[in-house]
Amino acid sequence: MTHFSALSLLKNALTGHRSWTPQWPESQPKAEYDVVIVGAGGHGLGAAYYLAKEHGITNVAVIDKGWLGGGNTGRNTTIIRSNYLYDESARLYDHALDLWDGLSQELNYNVMYSKRGVMMLAHNVHDVQSFQRHIHANRLNGVDNRWLTAQEAQAFCPPLNISPRARYPVMGAALQKRAGTARHDAVAWGYARAAASRGVDIIQNCPVTAIRRGSDGRVTGVETAKGFIRAKKVAVSAAGNTTVVMDSAGVRLPLESFPLQALVSEPVKPIFPCVVMSNTVHAYISQSDKGELVIGSGTDQYTSYSQRGGLPLIEHTVAAICEIFPIFNRMRMLRKWGGVVDVTPDRSAIVGKTPVPGLYVNCGWGTGGFKATPGAAHTLAWTVAKDDPHPANAPFTLERFTTGRLIDEAAAAAVAH
């Protein structure tokens, strides 16, 4: 693996960039692995990396039906934050945020993590009370988050319309300065490159059609388009398609798959300094380093695997953006797309063991999985290696839907997050 540095960049620049080598090999499946991870998104690739790096398990394959990072990893709006209400969520998302901090150096790959701040707008009295509750809860948990008046919010983000006559008046905002964005593709590529350099096989364009179990109930391997692959342990991290894979192992999960859409504008000069989210009108916006405005909308109301979603949601989101930021009224939108997100009833993830020995699952991240990428990957690898959860993911069990110990971020946020 070529080490990236100013020196290697200079050397290759002088030779016309002709001697760069592929960052990971085109792997073909072996007959048997210690661990097979289904789904080569950021979470799955990251888990393979941490298995190899922290637990010395290198006989690992990451298998994907498409190309790596082509699912929700490449389709999200790249927002990173950890200002969740409940103690369990605060621990898990802040664990992820701690890992984000040193990720570029650790992977020797620039994931462009930019702590530009995430500001959540309060448009009514309920928002104000709910956000202030979040801020107090976050402070008790040592999570960065603070309250801004409307004027302070506008000072932080000048395009914001805080006129009292606005369609969506701004009554204040919650600001997490430590939050921000990262380059989503680079996260997948960085993890893939680092994992492959430690011996992990990344097998693309190879759908996993079923999980096989032995007569003792234990996992024995996976059926794929390239034949049966034996595995001592299998971890499924397949986002919207998780239930399809897990059904074949006889494990039913409390998940439903919904389309979630995003869109980008034409690229323009730097105008937008942070990320702004408005849960009440369901729009969020930031500007990529390329200059595009990146806009996210809510989930469609119906379940679907179509990776498309309906136009009314986009219209609603863009209308809200134009009201809150009138300066963007005449901005042209370039592309829109959808991803399939796996949503749990309490809007919190499931990371941990399943009733099947040797089978693990990382799912239910719903509309907010990107921000958790290093944390989900790290705790999933820990759980697989030790057959026991990490303290950060211990509460995020599948059993909570039987015992009733839900982590009810759904009620806390009242919207997708």
Partner 1 sequence: MLLIHCPYCEEILPELEFTYAGEAHIARPADPSAMSDGEWRDYLFIRSNVRGPHYERWRHAHGCGRFFNAVRDTVTDRFLTTYKAGEPRPDLSSIKETAE
Give whichever of 251 and 381 is closer to partner 1, judged by the CB atom: 251
Residues 6 or more apart whose CB falls under 8 angstroms from that of 11 comprise none
Residue 294: CB minimum distance to partner 1, A: 24
Give whichever of 79 and 350 is closer to partner 1, judged by the CB atom: 350
Helices 42-55/184-197 angle, 10° precision: 30
Q: Which stretch binds partner 1 (CB under 8 A): 29-37, 212-220, 251-259, 273-281?
A: 251-259
Distance separating alpha carbons of residues 145 and 240, to the nearest angstrom? 31
* Interaction of residue 256 with partner 1, rule CB under 8 A: yes
Three-state DSSP class for residue 350: strand
Q: Tell me which of 53, 212, 230, 308 binds partner 1, using CB under 8 A.
A: 308
DSSP annotation of 114: B
Q: Which of residues 333-362 bind partner 1 (CB under 8 A)?
A: 345
Distance separating alpha carbons of residues 235 and 47, to the nearest angstrom? 9
Q: Tell me which of 122, 255, 281, 372 binds partner 1, using CB under 8 A.
A: 255
Give whichever of 20 and 302 is closer to partner 1, judged by the CB atom: 302
Give whichever of 267 and 312 is closer to partner 1, judged by the CB atom: 312
Give whichever of 254 and 326 is closer to partner 1, judged by the CB atom: 254
Residues in the chain: 417
Total residues interacting with partner 1, rule: CB under 8 A: 24
Residue 66: Cβ-neighbour burial (10 angstroms; 0-12, 13-18, 19+): middle
Q: With contact defined as beta carbons under 8 Å apart, do 341 and 258 qualify?
A: yes
Binding mask 98-127 for partner 1 (x = CB under 8 A): ------------------------------
Residue 233: CB minimum distance to partner 1, A: 24
Where do we find the tokens 């034996």? 230
Give whichever of 224 and 344 is closer to partner 1, judged by the CB atom: 344
Residue 400: CB minimum distance to partner 1, A: 10
Closest CA to 49 of 228, 187, 239, 183: 187
Q: Tell me which of 20, 139, 302, 327 binds partner 1, using CB under 8 A.
A: 302
168 C-beta neighbours (distance < 10 Å), count: 16
Residue 144: CB minimum distance to partner 1, A: 33
Q: Which stretch binds partner 1 (CB under 8 A): 181-189, 280-288, 301-309, 383-391?
A: 301-309
Residues pairing with 286 in the sheet: 294
Q: Tell me which of 105, 124, 163, 301 binds partner 1, using CB under 8 A.
A: 301
Q: With contact defined as beta carbons under 8 Å apart, do 275 and 79 qualify?
A: yes
* Interaction of residue 244 with partner 1, rule CB under 8 A: yes
Residues 6 or more apart whose CB falls under 8 angstroms from that of 326 comprise 161
Distance separating alpha carbons of residues 358 and 340, to the nearest angstrom? 26
Q: Which of residues 377-416 bind partner 1 (CB under 8 A)?
A: 401-404
Closest CA to 38 of 222, 194, 312: 222
Residue 399: CB minimum distance to partner 1, A: 9
Task: Report the interface residues with partner 1, using CB under 8 A.
Answer: 241, 243-244, 252-257, 301-306, 308, 310-312, 345, 401-404
